[in-house]
Amino acid sequence: MAGLFEAPRNAGTLFLGGSKISGSDVRDQCVLATGQIANVVKSSFGPSGLDKMMVDDIGDVTVTNDGATILSLLDVEHPAGKILVDLAQQQDKEVGDGTTSVVLIAAELLRRANELMKNRIHPTVIITGYRLALREAVKYMQQNISTHISELGREPLVNIAKTSMSSKIIGSDADFFANMVVDAMLSVKSTNRERPSEPAKYPVKAVNILKAHGKSATESMLIKGYALNCTVASQAMKTRITDAKIAVLDMNLQKERMKLGVQITVEDPQQLEKIREREAGIVLERVEMILKSGANVVLTTKGIDDMCLKLFIERGAMAVRRCKKEDLRRIAKATGATLISTLSDLYGDEKFEASSLGHAEEVVQERISDDECILVKGTKSFSSASIILRGSNDYQLDEMERSVHDSLSAVKRTLESGSVVPGGGAVETALHMWLEEYALTIASREQLAVGEFSQSLLVVPKTLAVNAALDSSELVAQLRIRHAVAQRVQEGDVNVPEKDKDIARKRSYRTYGLNLREGKVADMVKLGVLEPSMSKIRQLKSAVEACVSIMRIDTMIRLDPPQQQEDPHDH
C-alpha cells in the first residue's frame, strides 16, 4: 500500500510549468531592477541634470528630462520595476512635479531595506519602522519646515514656478516663463458660487497649451481666453462674433447616408431623387434647428457640408469643424454649454434646446504668428487662458510643454494648499537630522529601519551635487552641520534673548540648501528656491508605499507559456 502514496520518481519539485524564486534571491532581483531604473533618471535630476533621448521601435524621438516621461517610454519587464514606473506616473498625475526624486527615494529606501534583511531583520519590522519614520517626518515637516503663506503674494508663486523650471529646457528663461505661468494660473481661478466658503480651485486643464513653430522661446505668449487651433469653415463667414451663444456638437453636419449594411431597393427613379432630397433635407433641418435656438457659433468635432455652410453664412453665424473633442469638452465647461452628440430625445424626435448653449463675450479668429487661431474670450462659467509656445523644432516644443505643465501644477498646488518649503535638498537634510535623533528614542528593532530611512533621504542632496559636478560629500557634510545647529537652537534654551544675532542666524539655518550655481550652501528662502509642501509630502508617502509593496514580496513564480502540442496529422 505504501507505493500508492509515493510521488512519481520523475516528478519535478514544482508541479507547474515554470520557475520559482524565493527569499533573498527575489529581493536582490527587485533591488537590482529598481536600482537600474533609478540610475536611468538619476543623471537628469536637478538644475544641472542632463536630458535623455528616447527612440522607440518605430523611430519616434523624444528628448526630455522629465522623470515620468522617461519612465513611461521605457519598456520595463521586471514587475518591481513596473511599480516604480507607476509611482512616477502617479506623482505626475497628483502633483505634476517631483517625479524623478520620488523614484530616487523609493529605490534608495528599498536598497537599504534589503541590507537590513540580509542582517536578519524581518521585513515586517522594517515596514513598521518606515511607516513610523514617514509619520514623524510629515509631522515635523508641517510643523517646523513648511511656511504657511495665507495671503499668497505674487513673488513666492513666481519663485515656485522658477524652481520647477530650473531643471528644464526653459530654465534659462525662467523669469519670463514663471511670470507667464503665474498669470495663467491666477486667471483660471474658479470659486464655487453656491458655496463661497469653499477654497478656490485652480484647474490646470483650463490652461490650453498650443505649440507653433518658429521664432524664439521668449516670443511665446499668454492669451486670456481659450485658443483653438482651428479656423472658420468658410472664408465668407464672420471672423468676429460678440455676445456669442455657442453650440458644442459631437456629430456630423454632413449629408445623411445610410449606415453600413442597410440596403434600399428602388424601382422608380423618381423615388431615388426623393431619397436624395430627404438625405440633404435632414441635415439642413438640424442646422436650422440649432440656429433657431439662438446659436451664432457652432463648434463640432466632425465635418460640415457645403450646403450647411451656405446657411451659416446667410445667418451671419460662425461654424468651426474638426475640433478636438478634448478642446470642446473644456470649452463646454468654461462657457456652460452641453456637448451634444445626438439631437434625438427619448421619444426619437429631434430637437435642440436653447439651454444647451454656452455663452462667451466674444469669439474671434485671430492671426497669431503664422497660424490662424479661434479665441473664445470672456467665458461665462469658468475663466480660461491659453499659452502659445514658440520654438525651433518639435522636440523643443514638446519638452517646453512638459516643463510648463510641471510649473502650472506646482503653482496650482501652492495656491490650493497655501504652504511652501525650501528646495535645494533643505527639507531632506532637515528630516535626515531630525529622524537620526528620533531613532535614538526608539528602544526596539524599528530603530534600525528609522535610521536607514533617515540615511535614504540624503540621496536627494547628494544627487543634486553630483549632477552639478560638485563634491557631494563635502557639501552634504556642511548642510548636515547647519541643520544640526538649527535644530539644537530650536529645541534649546528658550530664555535666550531674541536680539542675540547669533541665535537668529542659527535659526535661519533650517532653510539652508545647496546653491548649485556657486557650489556652496545658502539660504534657499532668500534665493527664492521654493517648492509646494504638498509635493514633498506626496513624494515621501508614495515612495514609502511603493517600497513597502515591493518589500512584501518574498517569492516570485514565473509560469512558462503553454506549449503548442503537435498535431500528428500535420506530418
Cα distance between residue 14 and residue 9, in whole Å: 13
DSSP helix/strand/coil, 280: helix
What angle is formed at CA 56 by the lines to CA 54 and CA 60, rounded to 5 degrees? 85
One-letter amino acid at 32 equals: L
Cα distance between residue 546 and residue 532, in whole Å: 22
66 given a catalytic annotation: yes
> Which residues, other chains included, contact 47 with Cβ-Cβ below 8 Å and sequence gap of 6+?
166, 167, 171, 464, 468, 516, 517
**437: its cell numbers:** 535623533
Write down the catalytic residue from 64, 99, 429, 511: 99
Long-range CB contacts (< 8 A, 24+ apart) of 468-476? 468/46, 468/47, 468/48, 468/514, 468/516, 468/519, 469/48, 470/514, 470/516, 470/519, 475/514, 475/519, 475/520, 475/521, 476/429
Check if the beta carbon of residue 206 is closer than 8 Å to that of residue 185.
no
Cα distance between residue 514 and residue 423, in whole Å: 8
191 given a catalytic annotation: no
Write down the catalytic residue from 34, 62, 64, 66: 66
Rg (CA), the chain: 31
Looking only at the bridges linking them, the beta strands covering 18-22 and 52-55 are unpaired
523 given a catalytic annotation: no
Check if the beta carbon of residue 308 is closer than 8 Å to that of residue 283.
yes
Q: Which of 297, 315, 314 is nearest to 228 (CA)?
A: 297
Angle between helix 269-292 and helix 306-315 axes, rounded to 10 deg: 40
555 given a catalytic annotation: no
Write down the catalytic residue from 97, 305, 398, 406: 406
Helices and strands: H and E segment counts in the chain: 18, 19
Cα distance between residue 408 and residue 205, in whole Å: 10
Which stretches does DSSP call E strand in 275-384? Answer: 297-300, 318-320, 339-340, 358-368, 371-379
One-letter amino acid at 70 equals: I
- So which residues are the catalytic ones? 66, 99-100, 406
